[in-house]
Structure 1
Amino acid sequence: MAADHPDAFGRAIRDHHRGNLADPLYQVDGSERREHPIEQFYFTEFDPETSADHRWFAERLEGPLVDLGAGAGRHALYFQEQFETVAVDPSPALVETMRERGVEDAREGDMFALRELFPADRFASALAHGTQLGLAGSLAGVEAFLGDLAHVTTADATAIVDCYDPTRVDGEAMLGYRADEPAGLAHRVNWFEYDGDADPVLHFRLFSPDRLREAAAETPWVVGEVKRGGTDGAHYDAMLEKE
């Protein structure tokens, strides 16, 4: 991340952690602004003992693990107690937050530049939870990411990624939703504002599980189990395994 990037998103979460949040963190699309629920999304405990959803993750990941787009370290704090965990995020403020919260190996880095960050066969599993895979921008970008992820993971590795399924999304309710003609594809465009700063626009590509399978077809990964959440099942987590 460039040094002059305002990092409104990361600063707000760090300030929340430190107890000095200056203003709400807003998610914005044009004239529409919604307060982003920081505590709910980033600071609730990840506990497989009490949550079946959390247990689904824990049963499918092993170490060494790379947590991509690790945010405030919610997952890393749990998994580092089970096995080696490396948490990666592009936000300097979020890396600071993770370290302050006790994440042992938190690093600033771009999940779309994995070959620059890690050697081949470094990890046994990977987690990218937060829909950040959509920032690949296209199915070709997803395919390229999966190729790089295959390079830095072992031959029998597993991975979990997530996205919103355009075939189930309520486009009127989702901030920044942009419909697209090809089946199973859409866009989402929005940005974050905090304490007078605005981050650059985020352009997510949304894709259905079938479109994810299409992107994975020319990579070593196979899309296996898909776990849907919410009342409409629009958000999903996908389990990836090496062929």
Structure 2
Amino acid sequence: MADVLGKAVMDFQQGNYTEDIKTFSSLDEEDVIPIPYLFRNFKEMPKIEQKALKLAYGKVLDIGCGAGSHALYLQDKSLDVTALDNSEGCIAVAKERGVQKTILSPILDYSGDTFDTLLLLMNGIGLAGTLSNLTAFLQHLASLLRENGQILLDSSDIIYMFDEDEDGGFWIPNNGHYYGEVNFTMQYKEWKTEPFDWIYLDYNTLQNACWANGLECELIVSGKHYDYLAKLTLKR
């Protein structure tokens, strides 16, 4: 698959920023990912991300690190942080920006160490792809946790994107799929990804999946737009 995100952040890092990443999904026709947003500092981050970074402790794995903004903040706070991404361009940029420990790998292929904190920000749980993959994904994350470790992740309940009826209910297509499953394509300049699956999880669905897989799930923060931060820990 074309390294769309990597090419975009590399251009920005090298001073060649001329356009943003376009996204096309099964939910809406077109949206954009502003590339400067991927280089934000702590003050520019949403409150949910700020809270997650403040809760991080010990040895940290930043999963889906992108341009390395979260890892850099934690590194500056003297935490032992490793940034992981499956994008060569993102890892190269993270290194250029000063991230000291990086891993180029899909998270499901990585099993080299265990950590006190796993970070999955910017809807990192979306990497599970579909609801049917969630069990294997959570079990793999749990295998990377130390005994008293934590998984910090944010996501959104995208129920608000569906039509609401007079009684306050929502019209969700009865197509056999969980409504948070989305199919995406990303494009940057002449490069375009193959379609890929991404999932947005409502908190109750996440909590039930955690309980079924030996994990405790705690709601830490609820945002203003159906978004939330959750902390997952191993059941005692």
Same fold? TM cut 0.5: yes
Contact 1:114 / 1:148 at 8 angstroms: preserved in 2? no
Residue of 8, 28, 41 corresponding to 2:4: 8
How do residues 24-43 of structure 1 correspond to structure 2 at under 5 angstroms? 24-29=20-25, 32-40=29-37, 42-43=38-39
1:220 is displaced (CA, Å) by 3.0
Q: 185-194 or 64-73, which moves further after superposition?
A: 185-194
Is the counterpart of residue 162 in structure 1 residue 154 in structure 2? yes
How do residues 16-27 of structure 1 correspond to structure 2 at under 5 angstroms? 16-27=12-23
2:109 corresponding residue in structure 1: 113
Aligned length: 225
1:46 is displaced (CA, Å) by 1.7
Secondary structure of the structure 1 residue equivalent to 2:110: helix
Q: 1:125 to 1:165 in 2, by over 3 A?
A: same
Superposed CA RMSD: 2.7
C-alpha distance in 1 between matches for 2:203 and 2:138? 14
1:154 is displaced (CA, Å) by 0.7
Contact 2:85 / 2:91 at 8 angstroms: preserved in 1? yes
1:199 is displaced (CA, Å) by 0.9
TM, length-normalised to structure 2:
0.84
1:112-166, Cα deviation, whole Å (9 max, x unpaired): 2233xx23xx211110112232231333422212211111111111111122213
Letter of the 1:150 partner, please give it. A
Contact 1:125 / 1:158 at 8 angstroms: preserved in 2? yes
1:21-47, Cα deviation, whole Å (9 max, x unpaired): 35432112489333321112x111025
Residue of 126, 140, 143 corresponding to 1:148: 140
1:206 corresponding residue in structure 2: 200
1:61 is displaced (CA, Å) by 1.4
Secondary structure of the structure 1 residue equivalent to 2:180: strand
Q: 1:51 to 1:236 in 2, by over 3 A?
A: closer
Flag structure 1 segments of 5+ consecutive residues without an equivalent. 173-177
Instruction: State the identity %.
Output: 22
Flag structure 2 segments of 5+ consecutive residues without an equivalent. 164-170
Contact 1:135 / 1:202 at 8 angstroms: preserved in 2? no
TM, length-normalised to structure 1:
0.82
C-alpha distance in 1 between matches for 2:80 and 2:25? 38
How do residues 31-70 of structure 1 correspond to structure 2 at under 5 angstroms? 32-40=29-37, 42-47=38-43, 53-70=48-65
